[in-house]
Amino acid sequence: MDPALKLCALLVILLLVNDAFASDFGHCERVVKSWAYTSLDNEIREDKHTLGDLLFFLHVPRTGGRTYFHCFLKKLYPNSLECPRSYDKLRFDPSKPKCRLLVTHDDYSVTSKLPKARTSVVTILRDPVDRVFSTYEFSIEVAARFLVHPNLTSATQMTLRLRSKTKAVSTLDIWPWKYLVPWMRQDLFERRDARRRNGQHTIEKNDYYDMEDFAMPLHEYINHPAARDIVHNGATFQVAGLTNNSYMAEAHEVRHCVQKYKILGKYVLQVAKKRLNNMLYVGLTEEHRESATMFANVVGAQVISQLNAPNTSLELVDKTEQSSVSDSDPDSSEHQNSTSETVASEVTSSDSGEATKLKMSAKELMGAYEGCISNLRKAQSSRRIASLKRISPVNFTKEARLRVSEEVLQEIRSLNDLDLELYEYARAIFDKQHKATMRAFTEQRWDNISSTASEITFWKFLPLAITFAFLILVLLLIVNVRRRTLKIK
Ligand SMILES: *[C@@H]1O[C@H](CO)[C@@H](O)[C@H](O)[C@H]1NC(C)=O
Ligand SMILES: *[C@@H]1O[C@H](CO)[C@@H](O)[C@H](O)[C@H]1NC(C)=O
Ligand SMILES: *[C@@H]1O[C@H](CO)[C@@H](O)[C@H](O)[C@H]1NC(C)=O
Ligand SMILES: *[C@@H]1O[C@H](CO)[C@@H](O)[C@H](O)[C@H]1NC(C)=O
Ligand SMILES: *[C@@H]1O[C@H](CO)[C@@H](O)[C@H](O)[C@H]1NC(C)=O
Ligand SMILES: *[C@@H]1O[C@H](CO)[C@@H](O)[C@H](O)[C@H]1NC(C)=O
C-alpha cells in the first residue's frame, strides 16, 4: 500500500475511535447529570432536626452501625415497631405501614419506598482506608468459619440445608456479604487444598496481609472486579443510592459511567453531600464516644419523647405483629458449628430482653449502651480469634496493619477518592453538630444556674452570711477595745 494511503487509513481510524469515545462520554455525562439534577431536586424533609415518624438507619458496612442498632435502637423501639428486616432486598416488605425503625445495608434508594416527608435518615461514616481493611478482614473472617468442613462442596451443601430449615437471616443473605463471603470462601478452600497438595510451605514474611499460601493478599483483593463493584467508594455510592443493590433502575448505568469516567464522580459527590446535610444525624466511627453521646442526645432523646407522647398514634406493642426475624442479628446468626457462636447469641438474647423499656432518659440510655457495647465487643473478638485460628498464622491485628506497604495504602486511597472527600465533609458536619449540641447543653445549664439555681443558693446562704458578717464585726470591736485599753495603760 502507498504510505500516504496508510497514513490516511490510520487517521480515519483514529478519528472514529475518538468520536466513539466522545459520544460515549457525552452519553455518560448526560445520564449522570440528569440523575444528579433529579436527585438534588428530590427534597426529603423540611425540618431535618426533628425526628420524623420513621427512622431510617442507613448502615454502611463496617462502620460500627451494628452496635448502635443493638445497644441503642433495640433498647428504644419495641420489636413491634421495627420494620421487617430488609438487609436483603428480597425481604423488603412495605406491608407494615406503621413500623418506625428501619436499619439496613440497603442504599439510599430504598427511600423511594418510604414515606419520604415523614422519614428521618441517620448514618455513620468511617475513614475509607480503615473501612477497606475492615471489609477485607471481615470477608475472610466469616469465610474462614467454613473451614471446619472437609471441602467446599460439603461446606456449601451444609449451609444450604441449614438455611432452608431456619428462617433467621444469615450474613450470607445480606448485601454485600452475600457476594464477598462466598468469593473468599471458595478462595480459602482452594488455598487450603493447594497447601495440602504441595506439602511444606515456608513463611518468609510476617506481613499477614500478604500470605498467599493462606488467604488472598490484600493487594489482590482490592484490585479484583468484585471489590471494584462493591467495596471501593462504597459509602458514597450507598448514600447516593447507586450501589449495585439499588432499587433505582437507572442506578446501574449511572454507576458504570462514573466508574468508567472518574471525572463524573463530582456529580455523585454533590448528591451524597447534600444527602448527608439533610440527615438528622451523622456519626463517625473514629469519634466513637462523642458520636454515641450525640446519638443519645440528638436521636435517642427524640425517640423517647416521641414514643412517650400521650396522644401518640401508635397502637403500641401489638405482640402478635412481631416479625419473626427482627431479633436475629445479621452478622451473628451464622449457621455454622463454631464454638464462639453461642457467646454471640447469648449477648443478643439478653439484650433484646430489655428492648421495650420506654421510660428511659438519654443519660440512662448512654449508661445501658456502655455495658451493652462491651459485651458485644467481647463476643465479636472471641469469634474473630476462633475463626482466624483456622488460617493461622494469618492474624489481623493493629500492629500487622502498620506493616502494610505505603504503595498498597496509596492504591486504596486512590480507589476510594470519592469516599475520602465525603468523609472529610462528614467530619465537618459532625463538628458543627457537635458544637451545636454542646452549646445547647451549656446554655441550658447556664440558664439554670443564673435563674433557679443561683436564687436558691442566695436565699439558703443569706442567714449564714449575715451571721458571719456579724461575727467579724464583733471580733473587730473586741480587738479595737483591747487596743484602746492597752494605750491607756
Ligand atoms: C467432600 O467431603 C465429603 C464429606 O467428608 C465427602 O463425602 C465428599 O466425597 C468430599 N467431596 C470431594 C469432592 O472431595
Ligand atoms: C454486584 O456485584 C457483585 C460482585 O461483583 C456481582 O457478583 C453481582 O452480580 C452484582 N450485582 C448486580 C445487580 O450488578
Ligand atoms: C397531640 O396533641 C396535640 C395537642 O392536642 C396536637 O397538636 C398534636 O397534633 C397531637 N399529635 C398527634 C400525633 O396526634
Ligand atoms: C455441631 O456441633 C454439635 C455439638 O456441638 C454436633 O453434635 C454436631 O454434629 C455438629 N454439626 C456439624 C455439622 O459439625
Ligand atoms: C492474634 O492476635 C491476638 C491479639 O494480638 C491474639 O489474642 C490471638 O491469640 C492471635 N491469634 C492467633 C491465631 O495467633
Ligand atoms: C434545667 O432545669 C430544668 C428544670 O428547672 C431541668 O428540667 C433541666 O434538666 C435542667 N437542665 C440541665 C442541663 O441541668
Q: Which one of the ligands is nearest to 144 CA?
A: 5
How many C-beta atoms lie closer than 10 Å to residue 283's C-beta?
27
Query: Which of left, alpha, beta for 63 (phi over 0: left; psi -120 to 50: alpha)?
Result: alpha
Q: Which residues pair with 104 in a beta bridge?
A: 58
Domain locations in the chain?
Answer: 24-444
**270-297 mean pLDDT:** 94
Q: Which of 319, 327, 63 lies closest to 169 in space, CA to CA?
A: 327
Ligand 3 atom nearest residue 313's Cα: 13
Residue 393, preceding peptide bond in cis (omega within 30° of 0)? yes
Q: Which of 190, 209, 202 lies closest to 152 in space, CA to CA?
A: 190
Whole-number Å distance, alpha carbon 361 to ligand 6 midpoint, is 13
Percent of the chain with pLDDT over 70: 75
**Using CA positions, which residue lies closest to atom 10 of ligand 2?**
244
**Using CA positions, which residue lies closest to atom 1 of ligand 3?**
311
**Using CA positions, which residue lies closest to atom 14 of ligand 2?**
244
Q: Which residue has the cell 451473628?
A: 332
Residue 286 has pLDDT above 60, yes or no: yes
**Ligand 3 near 310 CB (within 6 A):** no
Q: pLDDT tens for residues 216-264?
A: 999 999 999 999 999 999 999 999 999 999 989 899 999 999 999 999 9
Give the model's pLDDT for residue 317.
Answer: 36
pTM score over 0.85:
no
Handedness of CA 241, 242, 245, 250 (dihedral sign): positive
- CA atoms of 203 and 362, how far apart (whole Å): 52
What grid cell was written down for 483?
487596743
Give the model's pLDDT for residue 12.
Answer: 61
**336-358 mean pLDDT:** 34
Q: pLDDT tens for residues 191-224?
A: 999 999 988 666 667 789 999 999 999 999 999 9
Whole-number Å distance, alpha carbon 338 to ligand 4 midpoint, is 9
Q: Which one of the ligands is nearest to 305 CA?
A: 3
Residue 484 has pLDDT above 90, yes or no: no
Q: pLDDT tens for residues 21-63?
A: 678 999 999 999 999 999 988 766 668 889 998 999 999 999 9
